[in-house]
Amino acid sequence: MRWSRRPDSASPPCTSCFDRICLGCPSCPTIGQDDGVLVDEQLDPRARFVAHTRQTPWDDFHTVYFAAEALWHDLTAPFDLLRSGVEIEETRPWHADGVIWPAVRVTYPDTFAVPSKQQMLYFDG
């Protein structure tokens, strides 16, 4: 899959099937073919994940959107931690193989599109 970006877009690149193109737009991402044929469009992408369970089958759009959201979150996390509304709480460090990993619990506000609203982050000390 190749990625193309609209001028008004602020979303990350995404990957899935090699014959598809994902057009990034936070409010209306689309998946199309190389020849311009629209494959899928979602005006409210997060709504596709409401009531999902581990047994819910995923289509190309689910895969593309989730991968893009996770990648974007991973790339921007250091900056997001400084934003208003993000709560950070230092917790007990993780001990593994004689190494101490400092840890923080992060709670993101509802305005953040993240895979999980509450996350534990560990830092190489």
Report the pLDDT value the prediction gives residue 9, as an integer from 0 to 100: 42
Q: In the structure encoding, which two tokens stand for residue 66, read together? A: 């989730």
In a shared domain, residues 30 and 62: yes
What average pLDDT score do residues 24-32 get? Answer: 65
**Number of domains into which the chain is organized:** 2
In a shared domain, residues 42 and 66: yes
Nearest to 70 by CA among 19, 8, 13: 13
Largest CA distance in the chain: 55
What average pLDDT score do residues 45-53 get? Answer: 80
Q: Which amino acid is at 26?
A: P
Pairing mode of beta strands 118-122, 99-107: antiparallel
In a shared domain, residues 45 and 89: no
Q: What is the pTM of this model?
A: 0.61
Most confident option among 27-31, 44-48, 88-92, 93-97: 88-92
In a shared domain, residues 68 and 40: yes
Q: Which amino acid is at 83?
A: R
Most confident option among 27-36, 46-55, 79-88, 111-120: 79-88
Q: Is the confidence at residue 61, as pLDDT, over 60?
A: yes
